[in-house]
Chains A and B, each alone.
Chain A
């Protein structure tokens, strides 16, 4: 996994959010605009510039008791405003294992 420090150098090219795992149980969580965490991707604060992303990440990392391994990850924001995971890894984290799905032909 890319460390948050390295990520500070990364410019974001897509709308992004900050995600982590909840310390006490490991659940996947997303940083919200209200400076809290939610287990729903739809509650995630969306950032569109590197500065915003850096700020959101810094604030997330500061919550060392609540969350572990925070990092910036891409999302897709649909025309309807619906937020979807930006890659397969985040899809699996947000929607769960793929292994009950049938394999695409």
Chain B
């Protein structure tokens, strides 16, 4: 866990009282909506279809039980008893009243949580691997660096008015769980030949209307130079980014138009002037941040405790364990993923009661810590293996032990037309229908790892481009239609999916997905060949044939 310092607390509290005053002036008519809009966006407040939407940041996806209880409290007290966990380690509330927002913010500030820079043209929540600090084989905890970046970019005057929003993601593992290749800046923590920490820096990734996979701009930037190098990138962007056209304003467009070589040269030139400035981090800066992260006092535990051996006789427990429990860097411990994808439920939603119960379980079984991943699930990062059987029963009771992690029903979906004012079509009911179609666990297990991602419009909040199967809502003559892509992926081999054929109407989407899955089962050359690998091997054509032959 990270312990905030006095400066942080003061900053957050000042921000709350500032916003309280702004809301008061808005409600009295002293501020017009035109004047107020930017102020509310700076505090994570959007206007959606039914109400204001409030987005709260969960930096690098780490929450304490106390913080999660406060998120539950806000859901219960100021909203309709639930919240929606997003793909960028935020939580969104859908029904919040403007008049009560300052109180909600102030309650969150008590536990060091805020909504700064969760919207607007600034550097957004710095996201990271949800298994940071506990994943086996990780080089070092990437959250130290996420936190450094967070502190450096928060309210940085030069980066508060960028041409467009700007998103960082960091990983320190070989397997990328943070989707760094689809972020404006992606950082992969590595060591050089001398064993020094640094980063492979990727730039210009992103989805939306014009999707791009990020490109490596520099294979190794020394840790001490991270801030100066990032500043150099942001300066070049600030200087050349297209402020005249919102569709061309993201850094990915600039990188694409200049070409990565030219862009890299510009950055290098800028960096030469910055590299030995006050931005250079010394050992003490880094250690200061590191010292604020506390790690549990792990016990020395056996690899295979008796409790686990006994529980292995229960097929339901085994089914869940195989699906939701992952290796931990410390012997005798596990990482446990909590599925927020119950059959028939909206992906990523959690009720206040669930959040409270999870906070209690985290206290009892995970040293009071919870993680939020970009797949819209939660995780308990430090569970002793001997506790797995009791934990499973408790999680099952509150509906977060669906054994579908990484399977076809573990769907990423944006709010879509049920909530979002930009949507063309609904996302959530499509996801719900698919979870019902594939509710049989044996079928889902037979299919194996398969990520379905759904967005209600081209903004791609549901990451449809990088879903193994991607579903994008479009509008045709006032009706909801959906374009379907296959073969996308968001990991270290990130790729955009390929369109499989003409858009299909709402009522046919689930049938088409079933056809695609059936085609895969028939086409894969062995049970272990994942859906994406079959698509990679054969291309989309055989899938297209099977799906559209009868349509």
Contact = CB atoms under 8 A, between A and B. Distances in A.
B432 A92 contact: no
A104 B508 CA distance: 10
A49 interface: no
A21 B346 contact: no
B32 A64 contact: yes
Nearest to B510: A103
B51 A87 contact: no
Contact of A25 (B29, B48, B98, B417): B98
Interface in A17-53: 21, 23-28
Given A97-B418, A99-B418, A103-B429, A25 B97 contact: yes
Interface string A68-90: 11000000000000000001110
A21 B26 contact: no
B47 A68 contact: yes
A26 B98 contact: yes
Contacts of A92: 49-50, 417-418
What band does the interface of chain A fall in when counting residues whose beta carbon is under 8 Å from B? 20 to 34
Nearest to B53: A26
A99 B27 contact: no
A87 B507 CA distance: 17
Contacts of A103: 429-430, 432-433, 506-507, 510
A23 B31 CA distance: 12
Contacts of A87: 478
A99 B50 contact: no
Interface stretch (B318-326, B397-405, B420-428, B490-498): B420-428
Nearest to A91: B417
Nearest to B427: A99
Contacts of B421: 1
Interface string B75-105: 0000000000000000000011111000000
Interface secondary structure of A, over-half rule: loop
Contacts of A99: 346, 418, 426, 428-429, 432
B418 A26 contact: no
B33 interface: yes
Nearest to A103: B433
B433 A28 contact: no
B427 to A, nearest CB: 10
B138 interface: no
A9 B418 CA distance: 28
Contact of A21 (B47, B99, B417, B422): B47
B428 A28 contact: no
Contacts of B346: 99
Contacts of B418: 92, 97-99
Nearest to B423: A89
A104 B432 contact: no
Contacts of A1: 421-422
Nearest to B95: A26
Given A1-B422, A24-B97, A88 B433 contact: no
A28 B432 contact: no
B52 interface: yes
A21 B32 contact: no
B480 interface: yes
A23 B478 CA distance: 28
A99 B29 CA distance: 36
Given A1-B422, A89-B49, A26 B97 contact: yes
A65 B95 CA distance: 20
A93 interface: yes
Contacts of A96: 50
A90 to B, nearest CB: 9
A80 B294 CA distance: 68
Nearest to A93: B49
Contacts of B430: 103
A36 B156 CA distance: 43
Contacts of A64: 29, 32-33
B92 to A, nearest CB: 14
B50 A93 contact: yes
Interface in B39-93: 47-52
Given A23-B98, A64-B29, A99-B428, A88 B417 contact: yes
Contacts of A68: 33, 47
Contacts of B28: 65
Contacts of B478: 87-88
A92 B467 CA distance: 27
Contacts of B507: 103-105
Nearest to A61: B33
Given A26-B48, A101-B429, A103-B506, 16 more contacts: A23-B33, A24-B97, A25-B52, A26-B52, A26-B96, A26-B97, A27-B51, A28-B50, A64-B33, A65-B28, A65-B29, A88-B417, A93-B49, A93-B50, A99-B426, A99-B432
7 contacts: A21-B51, A69-B47, A89-B49, A89-B417, A92-B417, A93-B50, A99-B346
Interface of B: 26-29, 32-33, 47-52, 95-99, 346, 417-419, 421-423, 426, 428-430, 432-433, 478, 480, 506-507, 510
3 interchain residue pairs of minimum CB distance: A26-B51, A25-B97, A65-B29
Interface of A: 1, 21, 23-28, 64-65, 68-69, 87-89, 92-93, 96-99, 101, 103-105
